[in-house]
Homo-oligomer: A and B are copies of this chain.
């Protein structure tokens, strides 16, 4: 046996180690255990500003070394890929620097906090790709097997021509007015609220599954709670505010609603909110075509509902596909049929596909260009909401 049979390593440097950092670490650790990867990921360097905290996190999450300045990380010769898990206001700067330094990039969604940033990032990605360096945006829901299967069924023509898309992303962790401030409620950090945080997933998923782009929107945005406690106890995404009376200003939308037209004539309706009491992570997508329909709810993430219009009328109906069969996307590498995957598997699959793209020299998907299209929709939504819900085409100049 010669060493050439061992796959080369892909040395990862990751910036940020909160919720998304823990998740990405798990994905990098786990992917090579279940998938036969052409490059073996190595959790090389974890980067965060607080030296003590980042060391503790690196130990818990399994990273070999740490850095406290992302610029130093980007300059290291012993790192091949930069994984960006920070709030959106830092994405553009880090990603562009990394790509210019010849590092592959995985960047959390949404790509940026503005179309202008996203365009610069997409431009950087195109330039980098010409030199064999690749960039992917982390719209991980695409790689939930049920949504990957949804895309496959559309590609097979089993839905016919698409007419309706309805997408809801419903959470409730802000429903309690006493949940404290977080960077996700600060427009400077996050760009927008429910719209960018979760609505962006719905936009990407709708465009991905149908293969159609959103051409225009009319939107309504709303903020229910304008002041929140500054500090308190964080639990999950939410938590409980402190009693000290200090509050901060919520500067983002709590809910975003918009109607949309897609290329090809389909119409869509979208809603994103973190105030839907009782809905924990109900990322729903429903698509109706001339030949079939699909329905998905992430709270039942291992299932896809499919209506096949070609079934005899007596037996037609929505079929609950338990998307855990060997024939389904990704699932054959995991457990036997019906044994169920969880939220993290989408991230592991993301790593699998990214590594294969890098190794194979193909553009990863979602590319920064695809993510830019999402950004343009986010922008059009905000413009419409600010102008009496008037229709906005997504391809207008800024």
A contacts, CB < 8 Å to B: 19, 22-23, 25-26, 29-30, 32-34, 60-62, 149, 152-153, 158, 163-164, 166, 168, 171-173, 175, 218-220, 222, 224, 235-237, 255, 257-259, 261, 265, 267, 269, 271, 273, 275-282, 286, 288-293, 298-303, 306-309, 311, 313-322, 324-328, 332, 334-345, 384, 388-391
Q: Once bound together, how far apart are the Cα atoms of A19 and B111, in whole Å?
A: 38
| Number of copies of this kind of chain in the complex | 4
Which 7 A-B pairs give the minimum distances between C-beta atoms? A280-B338, A281-B338, A278-B307, A342-B342, A218-B389, A339-B343, A317-B321
Q: In the complex, which of the residues A23, A60, A153, A389 has the most CB atoms of chain B within 10 Å of its own CB atom? A: A389
Q: Once bound together, how far apart are the Cα atoms of A33 and B334, in whole Å?
A: 20
The chain B residue with its CB closest to the CB of A23 is B335
12 sample A-B contacts, Cβ–Cβ < 8 Å, listed by A number: A219-B259, A222-B267, A237-B337, A280-B324, A281-B340, A299-B338, A299-B340, A308-B315, A315-B321, A384-B389, A389-B389, A390-B391
Chain A binding surface SS class: mixed
For A306, list chain B residues within 8 Å (CB): 315, 317
The chain B residue with its CB closest to the CB of A273 is B164
With A166-B168, A340-B298: A220-B278 Cβ-Cβ less than 8 Å: no
| Contact status B337-A343, CB under 8 Å | no
CB distance from A139 to the nearest CB of B (A): 15
